[in-house]
Chains A and B, each alone.
Chain A
Amino acid sequence: MIFLKLILTNLRRHRIRSFISVAGIAFSVAAMLTVVTILQGAIGMFSGILSSDSEIIVFERNVSDLFFSNVPAAAVNEIASWPMVLHADPVLFGVVSSADHPIITCFGVTAGDARIRKATWIAGDRRTFAQHADDVVLGERAAEFLGAQMGSHVPIGHGVFHVIGILKTANGFEDGGVFMPLSSAQSFFHKDGMSSVITVKLRNRDDATSFKNAVKTKYASLIALEDAEFNHSYSQFRILKATAWAVGGCGLILGGLGVANTMIMSVFTRIREIAILRVNGFSSMQIAAMIFGESAVVSLLGAVLGLLTGTCLLLILKLVPALHGYVDVTIQPVVMLIVVLLALITGIAGALYPAIYAMRIRAVEALRFE
């Protein structure tokens, strides 16, 4: 109890300094939580597009980005005809811009595609999809920001398209996207006869290995991966995840430097007090434990405050109309745990030098210290 009080007393003694340290950790934690959650949400959404009513994705081997993947129509047709395949849907991804909107994702799909089939059609009829080359279906949010309604004509990229439907999906990318007939998308993006990926649903999931081997044997330039494998190995996802953790990590390092500064000041301003504790029997390890205890309290308070701030920030971002559907505020417990652990480790690392310094204080000299 006294030990805890010694820890808390010092933090209370310099409230502003302690608060700044707590705030430093809190902002770092909030930044890490927000960035990681947003990027993981984005990854989740993108992988959700790919795994829509499918369990395997086929794309061009060794491409770093699916937008650059080219899968020939012949492969699509042949794979779709394999007995083990229930359905194989080609999807062509493209990105265009329009006035005020630098990035609009386009999906070139067939009429039977799961994205078209399973979405809620707010306006229009699914059966009319892909009947004319300039027909498009907009996601609800895309319709909103393009100011488009059912039947209107909207400029997208270098073309003008006729809106024949508006659909609502839970996926932010899809909700903010444009669905074109596959052939129109191939023409629009100058990829005649190509798709970016084939999403495949097997009759029997146990055939996944056989399917992957068959693709490997038949098409040396293509690769088939199960959804989980793809999520784990896709370089864009890995880059995004690494970026998220790196950004957060940099924040935490800054927070850790704040803690280190606080703890150094804390030790320097109470050298005499530490000497008194030493004279009264505190071992050097107990002194170190006290310093680490202080930094742990700062880090924990910072982590809690950071988690609250980060969560609030994510909720606010979710309310921003422009980001609607793009921000997934579901904070994964494992992310929370890692962030808190990193904050603690940062705090403890920040207290390392001050603790060593405190352990080495010579009581006899320190008692003369004013």
Chain B
Amino acid sequence: MKRVVITGAGTINALGHSVPETLEAMREGRCGIGPLEFRDVDRLAIKIGGQVRGFEAEGRFNRQQMVLYDRFTQFTLTAAREAIGQSGLEFSGELAARSGVVLGTAGGGVSTWDDNYRVVYEDGKNRVHPFVVPKLMNNAAASHVSMEWNLKGPSFTVATACASSNHAMAQAFQMVRSGMSPAMITGGSESMLCFGGVKAWEGLRVMSKDVCRPFSANRNGMVQGEGAGVFVFEEFEHARARGAEILAEIVGFAMTSDAADIVMPSKQGAARAMAGALADAGVNQDEVGYINAHGTGTAANDKTECAAVADVFGPHADRLMISSTKSMHGHLIGGTGAVELLACIMALRDGVVAPTIGYEEPDPECALDVVPNEAREARVDVALSNAFAFGGMNAVLALRGI
């Protein structure tokens, strides 16, 4: 089996338009959640979100591209440009033929669906733009990345709701580790912050109207975010031979299914995924210094996740740090694991653990070190990134500093 390292990272989300901006915001415990701004927001009960601000398609993309790219694709391409640029890889010949793109998204081009349903239902028009389908399809972002950077190997899109990007990255990791591909572009994106996208979530009655406070006793729900995170996963010897800067090593993963309930999380499913990732990585429990939690800020997730961590780590659960950066950037649904992987890289590489902000009251059911409100300096050797989706589909990645 090959070793797999990360040689490029890119993002755009409510905390910043790049990795350095995002990490700075995480270090400072800044909140990117605020009042939503889009059409008909006054008809929503939930009016807050982690919206990407100051992002203009004009200037980044030409006219033909703008007509063809949904916002989730625009986010993906922006993040991919940063990641691939950092890696220094140029794809041609054999490298291009064997390298591909695996991305996660839950909804794909949600605002394209939303806009065009308006056109035909609300405005009563009987004609839509010819590019509606190629714009909204879930694989549009992965396809455009493949075209932009000449990636001709295995490429596809994974949809497992809130675990989509972790499942995608686990898959890309497998492909590089097995020797199938020398490098893979992976991560995920989501852009559901439009009227229909937020209205759908409102129906479940699990959203907070004011703030996302994971693990806090007075938490009252999740807050949606949007954006993308994209990484270059590269075979270690390939990266070393060309003198690439290595951000971290991916050492293991596991995927499990609860096979239980369509929305309620399961402690066993989450625990099996974390334990599986440790076993796959050949890592002992006590080597793990940081877990980037799924930490949605709902009553159900946070207590279940903490109980699962306690089960897997035993006494070491009280010594490790676990934080939810969703308190800052919101829940990016299918793109969330990708943005959250940045917090793992920061912990391993910079020795800075991102905080759980908005934390006010300890909850006896979440009695772990959740790094409340302020980032912390600490040496972290191994980090886990958790994602537990609706539908009971879980994916956990294990990373090691290098």
Same complex: no
What residues of chain B have their CB less than 8 Å away from a CB belonging to chain A? none
